[in-house]
Amino acid sequence: MAEGTPSILIRGGRVYDHDGDTDLPPVADVLIEGDRIARIGAGIGPADRTIDAAGKLVMPGFVNAHYHSHDVLLKGCFETLPLELWLLHALPPAYPRRSAAEVRARTLLGAAECLRSGMTTIQDMLTLFPFDPEHLATVVAAYEEIGIRCTFSLQVGDIPGIERVPFWKEVVPEEYHRHLGASVEPGGFDPLTHVRDRYLDYRATSPRFRWALGPTSPEFCTPRLLEGLAALSAEYGLPVITHIYESRSMAVAGRLFMPEHDGSQVKYLRSTGLLGANVGLAHSVWMRPDEIEILAETGTNVILNPVGNLKTRSGVPPIRGYLDAGVPTAIGCDNSPAAMRRTCSTR
């Protein structure tokens, strides 16, 4: 160990090894030196700090691969609503503008709940509406303060939601139309330039804070936007997180608005260069078999959100199909109201 490097000894816990006895992991000590696990075994000597883990399970932290911190203050609200009705009430345009103090509070509260639930890394796909540079700075500072690892993206789109949610223009009262889509469409500036400039502003923030790109969902993004984000991803090595097929309505949107791509949002993404190992498709509930094959061929990741999808009556994803095809699969909590601890404890 390098001189001056702090050490932590986690003593006497059951140390989980996925390739070992997962039913009754052996009791052992874990020695951490700096930011590395230096040794695992019995009877390891003293360290600068000792944590008694007797009767506890010692394991790696969970990764919350899909999360929206802008929903933290909505916990307990809008229960038992299907997704398309929930969106009318829960998107940021539906409630008053938040203060910087509220933005800081919700970011810290959500991160603290993740940490207490065993999550040490999150992917926060954040909507800031209306966009305020102070709010973005507040979020970044809050994550640096609490110390959780965060892959962060600003959620953007450039097609109004009311234009692409099937049949909503016809059946939703006009007074609700303004709530559909404005939360991810930057007003008064180009979303590509906006995202690129914000990344350049914050890319050197912290080793624990990583930037990503967040097109909201394929049906709400033009080819120009998706192709531009693909180019930014390639230029700067940035991961891309987007929603796809969260509800049956989103699958219908693909059939209605993407006939030139066989009604497939996956094939639409492929045409713009946005498939591959650096892309995560959140939800992926209503995926067709031919689309699963494309995901496997390209190494594209799916991010399942089982508790959130059950809460909004969105359905159950084809998990066996993904696993059998070899599609890389992660798990997320989506929204704070969807029970973070329950999601990870049932994975």
User: What CATH number does residue 337 fall under?
Assistant: 3.20.20.140
What pLDDT, on the 0 to 100 scale, is given for residue 99?
95
The per-residue pLDDT for range 43-71, each reduced to its tens digit, is 998 999 999 999 999 999 999 999 999 98
Same domain, 221 and 150: yes
* Count of structural domains within the chain: 2
- Extract the tokens encoding 1: 């160990």
Same domain, 227 and 117: yes
Same domain, 128 and 145: yes
What pLDDT, on the 0 to 100 scale, is given for residue 171?
85
How far, in Å, CA of 312 to CA of 78, rounded? 10
How far, in Å, CA of 148 to CA of 171, rounded? 43
Question: Which residues does the chain have with pLDDT short of 70?
Answer: 1-4, 178-187, 336-347
Assigned domain for 2 exists: no
Assigned domain for 224 exists: yes
What pLDDT, on the 0 to 100 scale, is given for residue 130?
84
Same domain, 18 and 52: yes
Same domain, 87 and 28: no
At residue 215, what are phi and psi to the nearest 5 degrees? -60, 130
How far, in Å, CA of 97 to CA of 312, rounded? 25
Quick check: 103 and 127 in contact, CB under 8 A? Answer: no
- Of 73, 150, 135, 152, the closest CA to residue 110 belongs to 73
Same domain, 241 and 128: yes
How far, in Å, CA of 90 to CA of 79, rounded? 11
Same domain, 41 and 142: no
Q: With 0.75 as the threshold, say if the pTM is over it.
A: yes
The 3 state secondary structure assigned to 303-328 is EECHHHHHHCCCCCCCHHHHHHHCCC
Same domain, 194 and 53: no
Task: Give the range of the structural domain holding residue 168, as residue numbers without chain letter.
Answer: 62-345
Q: What are the residues whose beta carbons fall under 8 Å from the beta carbon of 185, sequence distance 6 or more?
A: 156, 157, 158, 159, 160, 191
Same domain, 150 and 226: yes
Same domain, 25 and 112: no
The per-residue pLDDT for range 93-116, each reduced to its tens digit, is 777 889 999 999 999 999 999 999
How far, in Å, CA of 168 to CA of 185, rounded? 18
What pLDDT, on the 0 to 100 scale, is given for residue 296?
99
